[in-house]
């Protein structure tokens, strides 16, 4: 790529809110990052007072094993390690547990819905 083209591209980037540009086409690869620009946070969740409870696997979310009471209503108190639901994976179910104590601030999932690994299912207010 010619220097003149790169100079125009960098000038254009400085006039936008872009921090990084990556282009790949066949063998041609180009990555540009502006020095001193704000970077994207490295955590998957933004900074918050809420503790997310993420899915520990891929499968179907259920409130609990058959015959077990639902514990994850909004406003319910929970302790570290409490089981809020299960993920049916085709094998043995995987428990969805809390990392810390608090109250269930928000339920982000419904019974019977497919979930991905790491998908936020609940928000806990410490």
pLDDT tens digits for 19-50? 777 777 788 787 777 766 555 555 565 667 88
Instruction: List domains and CATH numbers for the chain.
Output: 3-33 (no CATH), 51-125 (2.40.50.100)
pLDDT of residue 93: 86
pLDDT of residue 105: 93
User: Residues of the chain with pLDDT > 70: what percent?
Assistant: 88
Which of 31-40, 86-95, 109-118 has the highest mean predicted lDDT (pLDDT)?
Answer: 109-118
- Residue labelled with tokens 């899915």: 55
Nearest to 44 by CA among 57, 31, 54: 54
**Which of residues 1 and 113 earns the better pLDDT score?**
113
Dist. CA 21–CA 86, nearest whole Å: 40
Would you put residue 115 in left (φ > 0), alpha (ψ -120 to 50) or beta?
A: beta
Dist. CA 70–CA 82, nearest whole Å: 11
pLDDT of residue 124: 93
Nearest to 39 by CA among 68, 24, 19: 19
Q: Is the pTM of this model over 0.75?
A: no
pLDDT tens digits for 68-81? 777 788 999 999 99
């Amino acid at each position: 790529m010619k220097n003149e083209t790169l100079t125009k591209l960098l000038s254009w980037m400085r006039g936008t809110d872009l921090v990084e540009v990556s282009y790949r086409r066949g063998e041609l690869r180009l990555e540009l990052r502006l020095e001193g620009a704000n970077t994207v946070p490295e955590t998957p969740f933004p900074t918050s007072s809420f503790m997310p409870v993420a899915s520990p696997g891929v499968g179907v979310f259920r409130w609990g094993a058959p015959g077990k009471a639902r514990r994850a209503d909004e406003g319910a108190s929970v302790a570290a390690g409490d089981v809020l639901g299960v993920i049916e994976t085709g094998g043995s179910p995987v428990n969805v547990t809390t990392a810390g104590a608090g109250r269930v601030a928000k339920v982000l999932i419904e019974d019977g819905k497919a979930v991905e690994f790491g998908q936020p299912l609940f928000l806990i207010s410490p």
